[in-house]
């Protein structure tokens, strides 16, 4: 470039180096300069689109991908990367078309096969999704596309054996259908992959929410979360926003302003649990704001949350992260509550902009955020023992009993206290010491595909007057239960058959624990 400052190829190559080094702004400037010199430079258009996508500038990214494809119609990389952008914009059909076209151009394109597999994992899923992870995996009512996803990941790995993302997603798909073949080998390899990626400061192939499914250490799980938090900071760094100025104390007579941020204000387990919470604060001392990250689903749950809060703000139409943070900052919130963490619909970049002086994690995500911009996690001594404080980047804010809440008293006011045990008109005599764990996961797909009819667990039991400990097998049949059966009826009959133990992939924390 010293010899020829207008050399477009050199500018593009230098931009690639700057991007690899983390100098996003400088790399963007160099790509733009290369295109000013040579507007028909397909690779520069694609590279610029990719770095714009990384910054969250998705619409601009699409324009440059289209330019790259116009100039080079067989540019498979551009098609595949444009598919990633469309997927991020929730244009699943468009993403699938792009991936398919990339594979048509280059049948040996492993990344495109892997990307197409990720699409197979999300289409035809139920509208009512339990949060088991962010963006990639949902609990399927119809898991018919999981085999296609598995095949696509296997194809990708055949073409590119050293492909961590494809391997980890394949392992996850196999867990979905309860295929435990070589399970220990798979999980061992996942641990090795994560350890290597963390040592090299790479974004791990295992998502923070997935990390709870594997035998990773607390430090590894925290490391995965920390790397994702760093990605949020990288995305907002290009916005060049000035820091918000926050008050250091309440003015005389001023109420404490608390803001709850969630994409799950609707028919979702999170709202099932906390829909009454906004209205339970002392209004003389606290002013409540709820910020919805998802559109109105026209359910009673959404209506309940919005009616209980003094202020309900729909941020789903404000795609710009900076403007969304500005909207929250305008309300001068004192404590901002992150109810998503790393679950579907999260917008952690808003929190990375620090639009409130105190920011806390609560309820929706059970692990650490790994983020310097999250100050506390609301938890309890059982869930987060003090000796494991090192596993969190946040300070532990203990509730006196449990951080978990439920809305059963408000949802079922017609049931008197302990009505289940006191009922006398029931056909069966309930055992008062009965404990039932109900997992609401729809097991139909795995029962039909994997022939799962019962779960067998080994348990130690105390036997006889000598209190001898014996190892006993406990067989728990899987019983089909009508979804219309009242929960109290299932508890009353003492149907321990409804217990489901021993399945690594289970329902989201909120859905399972609330029962």
Q: Which residues are catalytically annotated? A: 209
Round to whole Å and give the CA distance between 427 and 408.
24
> Cα 515 to chain center, whole Å?
22
Q: What angle do CA 476, 481, 483 make, to 5 degrees?
A: 140
Pairing of strands 395-398, 376-379: parallel
Round to whole Å and give the CA distance between 266 and 131.
13
Closest to 70 in 3D by CA, of 35, 29, 40: 40
Round to whole Å and give the CA distance between 6 and 415.
78
Round to whole Å and give the CA distance between 187 and 124.
28
- Determine the 3-state secondary structure of 203 from DSSP: coil
Closest to 357 in 3D by CA, of 246, 250, 254, 251: 246
- Determine the 3-state secondary structure of 378 from DSSP: strand
Round to whole Å and give the CA distance between 445 and 449.
6
Give me 173's structure tokens: 């798909």
Give me 403's structure tokens: 């951080």
Q: Are 150 and 174 in contact (CB under 8 A)?
A: yes
End-to-end CA distance of the chain: 65
DSSP 469-511: EEEEEEEEE-----TTS-HHHHHHTT-GGG---S-SS---HHH
> Cα 276 to chain center, whole Å?
24
Which secondary structure element, helix H or strand E, spans residue 224, and what is its range? Answer: helix 218-237
Q: Are 142 and 445 in contact (CB under 8 A)?
A: yes
């Amino acid at each position: 470039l010293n010899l020829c400052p207008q050399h477009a190829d050199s500018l593009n190559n230098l931009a690639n180096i700057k991007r690899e080094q983390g100098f996003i702004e400088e790399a963007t400037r160099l790509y733009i300069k290369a295109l000013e010199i040579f507007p028909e430079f397909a690779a520069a258009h694609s590279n610029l689109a990719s770095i714009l996508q990384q910054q969250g500038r998705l619409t601009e990214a699409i324009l440059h991908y289209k330019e790259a494809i116009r100039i080079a119609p067989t540019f498979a990389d551009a098609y595949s990367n444009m598919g990633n952008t469309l997927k991020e914009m929730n244009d699943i059909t468009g993403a699938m078309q792009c991936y398919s076209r990339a594979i048509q151009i280059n049948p040996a394109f492993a990344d495109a096969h892997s990307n197409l597999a990720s699409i197979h994992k999300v289409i035809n899923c139920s509208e009512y999704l339990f949060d088991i992870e962010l963006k990639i995996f949902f609990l399927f009512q119809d898991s018919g596309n999981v085999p296609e996803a598995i095949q696509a990941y296997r194809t990708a790995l055949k073409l590119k054996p050293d492909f961590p993302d494809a391997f980890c997603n394949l392992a996850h798909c196999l867990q979905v259908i309860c295929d435990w073949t070589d399970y220990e080998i798979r999980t061992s390899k996942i641990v090795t992959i994560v350890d290597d990626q963390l040592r090299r400061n790479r974004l791990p192939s295992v998502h923070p929410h997935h990390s709870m499914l594997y035998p990773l250490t607390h430090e590894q799980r925290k490391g995965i979360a920390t790397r994702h938090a760093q990605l949020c900071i990288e995305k907002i760094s290009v916005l060049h926003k000035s820091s918000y100025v926050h008050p250091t104390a309440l003015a005389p007579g001023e109420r404490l302003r608390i803001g709850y941020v969630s994409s799950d204000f609707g028919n979702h387990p999170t709202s099932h649990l906390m829909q009454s919470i906004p209205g339970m604060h002392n209004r003389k001392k606290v002013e409540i704001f709820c910020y919805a990250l998802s559109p109105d689903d026209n359910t009673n749950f959404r209506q309940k949350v919005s009616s209980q809060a003094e202020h309900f703000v729909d941020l789903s139409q404000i795609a710009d992260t900076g403007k969304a943070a500005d909207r929250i900052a305008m309300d001068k919130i004192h404590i901002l509550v992150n109810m998503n963490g790393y679950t579907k619909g999260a917008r952690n970049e808003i929190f990375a902009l620090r639009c409130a002086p105190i920011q806390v994690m609560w309820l929706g995500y059970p692990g650490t955020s790994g983020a310097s911009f999250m100050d506390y996690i609301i938890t309890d001594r059982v869930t987060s023992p003090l000796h494991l404080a090192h596993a969190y980047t946040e300070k532990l804010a203990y509730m006196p009993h449990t951080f978990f809440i439920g809305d059963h008293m408000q949802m079922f006011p017609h049931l008197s206290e302990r009505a289940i045990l006191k009922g006398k008109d029931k056909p069966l005599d309930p055992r008062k010491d009965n404990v039932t764990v109900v997992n609401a996961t729809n097991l139909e797909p795995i029962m039909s595909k994997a022939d799962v009819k019962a779960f067998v667990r080994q348990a130690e039991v105390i036997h006889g007057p000598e209190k001898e400990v014996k190892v006993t097998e406990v067989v728990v049949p899987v019983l089909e239960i009508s979804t219309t059966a009242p929960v109290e009826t299932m508890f009353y009959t003492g149907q321990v058959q409804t217990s489901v133990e021993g399945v690594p992939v289970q329902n989201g924390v909120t859905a399972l624990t609330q029962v």
